[in-house]
């Protein structure tokens, strides 16, 4: 069963712009991490 799931996640999809679901998932995670860390690493100015 895991073979089928893995196979589905590495197959290119026309609807996804010929990217794999795995590639798009990683891309979306990268965007989330970039947003999160860009907000948390900004210096805090206390007046």
pTM above 0.85, yes or no: no
H or E element in which residue 4 lies: helix 2-10
Residues 6 or more apart from 11 whose CB is under 8 A from it? 20
User: Please, are residues 13 and 21 in contact by the beta-carbon 8 Å criterion?
Assistant: yes
* Segments forming the whole domain that contains residue 36: 2-40
Q: How many domains does the chain have?
A: 1
**Per-residue pLDDT tens digits of the chain, which is 47 residues long:** 889 988 888 888 888 889 999 999 999 999 988 888 877 666 556 55
Give long-range contacts, CB 8 A cutoff, 24+ apart: 5-13: none
Residue 6 within a domain: yes
Residue 45 within a domain: no
Q: How confident is the model at residue 21, as a pLDDT? A: 92
């Amino acid at each position: 069963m895991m073979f089928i799931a893995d196979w589905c996640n590495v197959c290119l999809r026309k609807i996804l712009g010929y990217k794999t679901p795995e590639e798009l998932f990683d891309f979306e995670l990268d965007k989330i991490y970039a947003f999160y860390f860009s907000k948390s690493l900004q210096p805090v100015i206390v007046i």
